Structure 1
Amino acid sequence: MDDRVAVIKGLILGHPAENGGNESLLRRVCSTAAKELSASGVGISVMTESGIRAATAASDPASELLEELQFMFGEGPCVDAFASRRPVLISDLGDLMTSEDDRWPFYAPAAHASGLRAVFAFPLQIGAARLGVLDVFRDHVGPLTNAELADAVAVADVTVTALLDRQEERPDSGIDDIDDDAAEYRAELFQAQGMVMVQLGVTLAEAMARIRAYAYAEDRRLSDVTRDIVARRLRFDRDER
């Protein structure tokens, strides 16, 4: 296991001169994990303790969509893995949809329609600190093998260590910056909710639901829709309810 961790660490980190910033690191994690785990794609969401997504990366556009859908609907393997601090392993998304388990009533059918058949989410954490989640996507059903499961855990561990090392080496451009970005986004999101609440005469919860529904229907990022609402480029009218 230690040898395998060393191999994965080498694949992800490469040569020091090629490391780049956190965004480059996360993209390299995704592409490496997709190859090593025989996945159709991999996504990573870096999050604050309150569950607000601060940064994201994916191995390909399809995986980026699957990652985005979770925050658009507010549910999915990433959300559950972060909240529970435990891996979420779904070897057959179709079975989940046809069973009495209705944990993802919106995400599951949308992801399945996009080609997702199995998903495995691994928290990025060390001790009590949570940094985010690594999502492994597959376009075919079936569980991870024991070796693949061990490799996925190793990828998550290497990612956490690398992010924390960068924060220690460059305190002005590491996790603190991610937290600052998340705080700004959270304030923007709350402002957008308040604006839509007034525009439609609904509760804050319903305003958030309307914003998410609009983002999904228009195939746009939730953050982009939020920004347009705050900038008054987008307005929700009562006669459109």
Structure 2
Amino acid sequence: MAVDAVRAADVIAEVVRDARPREIPARLCAVAVKLLPVVGASVSLRSDGMPIRLGASSPLAAHLAEAQATLGDGPCLYASQIGTPVLACDLTAGRDMHRWPVFARQAAAVGVEAVYSMPLGDDGVTVGTLDLYRDSPGGLTEDELRRALLVAAVMTLALTTLPREDDGGEAWLGGLATEHDEVYQAIGMVMAQLGIDAEEALARLRARAFAQGRTALDMAHGVVSHRERLDGD
């Protein structure tokens, strides 16, 4: 193993030492920011309909993860779909900006101009993504890409092998995904109200959230609490 990778592994081991299972995703996101030329990182699980954010290094990273989930588009979803790293090196111009124009504008509005998405999983099965956010255009060097893939490999190991309960018996993974349960509850309510299928219901939920400058999670909470109805969409 190269010296650079050994040092990166040492940093990872130090940060996750003595951490409870529920703390691992956010801690590994923080490690990614230490090891790479990025200002934020988030980790999301792949699921039907919407990715589920499990952790982030900062509110900025959490915001961009939720933005992609709300839009149903972005490097995160594409990497999850194809199972290989997606390096959007310049969201201000060229191919990457045109591929995800709405997300690119939202990212640039908060000072992020490049995104690198690393798929989590193996043997052709993608369980989620590690998403890295940079405040200037540019790619990753070979060493930086190796470090990003190393963090992604450790994140994969954590998500697939960590006990599902903390020492106190609390189901940490289920707890982290609780908010997203409201999305599926809201989808069911919209399906019943409008007589449409799940895909169309999610599309309408996302469209209303985008039109109002809100996240899909926030809109779903409004539907479930009966403060929002999507009849007029």
Q: Same fold (TM over 0.5)?
A: yes
Question: Does the C-alpha gap of structure 1 residues 186 and 209 become closer, same or farther in structure 2, counting only changes over 3 Å?
Answer: closer
1:45 maps to 2:44? yes
- Residue by residue, what CA displacement relative to the aligned partner does 1:6-34 show, whole Å, maximum 9, x if unpaired? 54344334377621123x11111111101
CA distance in 2, matches of 1:31, 1:78: 18
The answer (yes or no) to whether the contact 2:73–2:103 under 8 Å persists in 1 is: yes
* Unpaired runs of at least 5, structure 2: none
Mapped pair 1:235 → 2:201: no
The amino acid of 2:214's aligned partner reads: R
Residues 21 and 163 in structure 2, CA contact (< 8 A), matched pair in contact too: no
What's the secondary structure of 1:18's corresponding residue? coil
Matched, 1:194 2:206: no
Distance 1:2 1:167, change over 3 A: farther
Question: How many angstroms apart in 2 are the aligned matches of 1:26 and 1:73?
Answer: 23
* SS of aligned partner of 2:118: strand
- TM superposition shift of 1:133: 0.3
Which of 90, 93, 105 aligns to 2:91? It is: 93
Which residue does the alignment assign to 2:219?
225
State whether structure 2 residue 66 is matched by structure 1 residue 72: no
AA matched with 1:154: L
| Residue matched to 1:109 | 105
Asked if structure 2 preserves the Cα contact closer than 8 Å seen for 1:124 and 1:134, the reply is yes
- For the 8 Å contact 1:191–1:230, the answer to whether it is kept is no
CA distance in 1 between partners of 2:16 and 2:197 (Å): 50
What residue in structure 1 maps to residue 147 of structure 2? Answer: 151
Report the more deviating stretch, 208-217 or 158-167. 208-217
CA distance, structure 1, for counterparts of residue 27 and residue 13 of structure 2? 8
Change (3 A) 1:180 1:93: closer
User: Relative to structure 2, which stretch is displaced further, 80-89 or 215-224?
Assistant: 215-224
Offset from partner CA, 1:16-57 (integer Å, 9 cap, x none): 7621123x1111111110121021111111223x36423332
Q: What secondary structure sits across from 1:8 in the alignment? A: helix
Contact residue 53 and residue 182 of structure 1 kept, 8 A:
no
Q: CA RMSD in A?
A: 3.2
CA–CA distance in 1 between the matches of 2:79 and 2:40?
A: 18
Name the SS of the counterpart of 2:146 in structure 1. Answer: helix
SS at match of 2:205: helix
Deviations 1:99-149 (A, max 9, x none): 597432321222222222111110011213322101111111111111111
TM-score of the two chains, using structure 2 as the length reference? 0.82
C-alpha displacement of 1:178: 7.5
Identity of paired residues, percent? 29
Instruction: Label 1:184 to 1:78 Cα distance change in 2 as closer, same or farther (>3 A).
Output: same
Q: Distance in 1 between matches of 2:133 and 2:54?
A: 15
The 2-side partners of 1:208 and 1:86 are apart by 26
Taking a change above 3 Å as real, the CA distance of residues 44 and 17 of structure 1, as seen in their structure-2 partners, is: closer
Matched, 1:141 2:137: yes
- The verdict on how the C-alpha distance between 1:66 and 1:54 changes in structure 2, with shifts beyond 3 A counting, is closer
The 8 Å contact of residues 15 and 28 in structure 2, kept in 1 or not, is answered as no
Q: Structure 1 residues 126, 205: CA separation in 2 closer, same or farther (over 3 Å shift)? A: closer
